[in-house]
Amino acid sequence: MSARVILGVSGASGAVLALEVARLLARIGVQIDLTLSPMAERTLELEIGPEAYADLVALATRLHGIRDLGASIASGSCPVAGMIVAPCSMRSLAAIAHGLDDNLLTRAAGVQLKERRPLILLAREAPLTLAHLRNMVAVTEMGGTILPPVPAFYLRPQTTLEIAAQIAARAVDLLRLAPPQAAAWDTPG
């Protein structure tokens, strides 16, 4: 049986990150449990196009409604290998940091923390307020990983898609489910 990973998609800018994470997880044979906020659906369409939502859902093994707090991924007994939130809005970050399990995305993230499973948040905002930073510290102290979607400029990416794919690969690599997918730094000479 292949590993299962939860992919949460919030409404922050950076919808391409969700698609790239899903594409990579599918390529390495991971089952994807997908949940999206209503704003995520809107952001997918605004930033990528009207087909983006359908493309993302087609990559998922299971689609869970954001309001379905009875979904399997809302329980620690659900056998998943971890969760990636890509992108992660500051609203979702704050809810996760403070244990406000008010929708399936934040509940599933809280479950990963309580079960000591990997939780990777592609926190998407700039500049950051003190509240954002404190919420990042809180999640980190609970065992989560904050992975701001920062480009690896040393790889000299030519397109936005190359940047997004590298960030997605870094996030997936943090789950340690397959050999490293992200291009590594290599010193010249």
- Angle among Cα 70, 135, 12 to the nearest 5 degrees reads 65
* 24 membership: H or E segment, kind and range: helix 15-27
Tally of CA atoms within 13 A in the half-sphere of 167 that contains its CB:
30
For residue 48, give both structure tokens: 């990528």
DSSP 150: -
pLDDT averaged per 10 residues, the chain (length 189): 94 97 98 98 97 98 98 97 98 98 98 98 97 98 98 95 98 97 82
Say whether domain 4-173 belongs to CATH 3.40.50.1950: yes
Contact yes or no for 145/118 (Cβ under 8 A) = yes
For 60-174, where are the alpha helices, taking DSSP H only?
90-97, 104-114, 130-141, 160-173
Q: Is 176 left (phi over 0), alpha (psi -120 to 50) or beta?
A: left
Q: What is the pLDDT of residue 26?
A: 98
Q: What is the pLDDT of residue 152?
A: 95
- Residue among 89, 36, 98, 107 at smallest CA distance from 65: 36
Q: What is the pLDDT of residue 185?
A: 85
Domain definitions of the chain by residue range: 4-173
Q: What is the pLDDT of residue 186?
A: 82
Helix 130-141 crosses helix 90-97 at what angle (to 10 degrees)?
Answer: 50
- Residue appearing with tokens 């592609």: 122
Residues contacting 63, CB < 8 A, separation 6+: 34, 35, 57
